[in-house]
Amino acid sequence: MNTQRPFFVLAACACLVLPAAMPAAVQAAGAGAKTPAIDPAAARLLDELIGELDKPQQQPRRVDLGEAVLIAVENNPGIRARAEVPQREGHGPSEAAGAFDPTLRAGAGMTDVNIPSASALASGRATTVERAYRAGFSISKLLQTGATVQLDWSNAHIDSNSRFLVLNPRYDLRLNLGIRQPLLRDLGAADEQTTVLVASAHSRQAQADFEAELAGFVAGVIGDYWGYVQASAELEVTRRSVELAQELVRDAETKVAVGLLAPVAVKEARADAAAREEQRLVAENALTLAKRTLQHAVMLGAAAGGPPQMVTPVEEHVVTELPLDHRQSLTTAVTNRPEVRSASIALVSSRLEEKRASNLRLPSLALVARYGLAGLSGDARPVVDTDGNVVSSGFAGNYGDALGDMLGRDYTDVSVGLELEVPLGNSQAEARQAKAEIEVRRAARQLEETVSGVALDVEKALADVGSAYQRVSASKLARELAEENLHNQRRRFELGAVTTKDVLDFQEKLAEAMATEVRAITDHANAVARLRLAEGTLLTSFAIEVASPDAPAIPWWAKF
Q: What is the pLDDT of residues 188-232, one digit of tens each?
A: 999 999 999 999 999 999 999 999 999 999 999 999 999 999 999
For residue 410, the model assigns a pLDDT of: 81
Across the range 358-379, mean pLDDT stands at 93
Question: Does residue 464 register a pLDDT over 90?
Answer: yes
pLDDT at 119 over 70: no
Return the pLDDT at 106.
95
Confidence of residue 370 (pLDDT cuts 50, 70, 90): very high
pLDDT, mean over the chain = 86
Predicted pLDDT of residue 28: 37
Judge if the upstream peptide bond of residue 36 is cis by omega within 30 degrees of 0: no
Predicted local confidence at residue 21, as pLDDT = 38
Q: How far apart are CA 409 and CA 412, in angstroms?
A: 6
Q: DSSP E strands: which ranges in 119-207? A: 127-142, 148-160, 167-182
Q: Please, are residues 55 and 61 in contact by the beta-carbon 8 Å criterion?
A: no
Mean pLDDT of 549-556: 78
Query: Could you read off the pLDDT of 125-176 as tens digits, one per residue?
Result: 678 888 999 999 999 999 999 999 999 999 999 998 877 788 889 999 999 9
In order, the DSSP letters of 495-532 are TTSS-HHHHHHHHHHHHHHHHHHHHHHHHHHHHHHHHH
As a dihedral over the C-alpha atoms of residue 397, residue 403, residue 405, residue 411, rounded to 10 degrees, the angle is 120
Fold of 200-353+431-544: Outer membrane efflux proteins (OEP) (1.20.1600)
383: three-class secondary structure by DSSP: strand
Give the model's confidence band at 45: pLDDT under 50 very low, under 70 low, under 90 confident, else very high: low
Residue 533 sits at φ, ψ, to 5 deg, of -65, -45
Count of C-beta atoms within a 10 Å radius of residue 428: 11
Whether the predicted pLDDT of 305 surpasses 80 = no
For 387-434, the pLDDT digits (tens) are 667 667 778 888 988 888 888 888 899 999 999 999 888 888 999 999
H or E element, residue 538: helix 538-541
For residue 22, is pLDDT > 50?
no
pLDDT at residue 11 in the model? 35
Across-strand partners of 117?
none
Q: Poorest-confidence range of 106-115, 121-130, 431-440? A: 121-130
CB 341 within 8 A of CB 180: no
pLDDT > 70 fraction of the chain, expressed in percent and rounded = 87
Task: Specify the pLDDT at position 27.
Answer: 40
Crossing angle between the packed helical segments 264-298 and 500-535, to the nearest 10 degrees: 20
Task: Tell the burial category of 262 from Cβ atoms under 10 Å away from its Cβ (0-12, 13-18, 19+).
Answer: middle
Residue 540's pLDDT is what? Answer: 94
d(CA 273, CA 247): 9
Whether 406 contacts 154, CB under 8 Å: no
Q: Using one digit for the tens of pLDDT, what is the confidence trace for 501-518?
A: 899 999 999 999 999 999
User: Which are the contacts of 419, defined by CB distance < 8 A and separation ≥ 6?
Assistant: 180, 364, 365, 366, 368
In this predicted structure, the answer to whether residue 437 has a pLDDT above a threshold of 80 is yes
pLDDT of residue 114 exceeding 90: no
Q: What is the pLDDT of residues 62-103, one digit of tens each?
A: 999 999 999 999 988 889 899 999 999 999 999 999 999 999
Query: What distance separates the 2 farthest-apart alpha carbons in the chain?
Result: 157
Region 341-357 average pLDDT? 95
Q: What is the pLDDT averaged over residues 109-116? A: 90
**Alpha-carbon distance 31 to 54, whole Å?**
35
What is the model's pLDDT at position 125? 65
Section 276-302 average pLDDT: 93
Mean pLDDT computed over 342-347: 96
**pLDDT above 50 (res 9):** no
Q: What is the pLDDT of residue 155?
A: 94
Whether the pLDDT of residue 473 is over 60: the answer is yes
In this prediction, residue 426 carries a pLDDT of 85
Band of pLDDT at residue 8, cut at 50, 70 and 90: very low
CA separation for the pair 363, 374 (Å, rounded): 35
- In this prediction, residue 36 carries a pLDDT of 65
User: In this predicted structure, what is the pLDDT of residue 24?
Assistant: 37
* pTM greater than 0.75 (yes/no): yes
- CA distance linking residue 514 with residue 191, whole number of Å: 67
Determine the average pLDDT of the residues in 351-365. Answer: 93
Whether 303 shows a pLDDT value over 70: the answer reads no
Decide: 295 and 307 in contact? Cβ < 8 Å: no
Mean pLDDT (whole number) for 310-324: 92
242-262 pLDDT, tens digit each: 999 999 999 888 888 888 888
CB 228 within 8 Å of CB 289: no
At 391 the three-state DSSP class reads: strand
Q: What is the pLDDT of residue 115?
A: 84
Q: What is the pLDDT of residue 19?
A: 35
Give CA separation, 436 vs 193, 356, 360, 441, 502, in Å: 17, 9, 12, 9, 74
Helix (H, G, I), strand (E, B) or coil at 34: coil
Instruction: Report the pLDDT value the prediction gives residue 13, as an integer from 0 to 100.
Output: 33
Q: Report the amino acid identity of residue 485.
A: N
CA-to-CA distance for 437 and 347, rounded, in angstroms?
11
Compute CA distances 133 → 106, 185, 294, 442, whole Å: 14, 41, 75, 61
Range picked from 183-192, 263-272, 336-345 for highest mean pLDDT: 336-345
Q: Is 560 exposed, middle or buried (0-12, 13-18, 19+ CB in 10 A)?
A: exposed
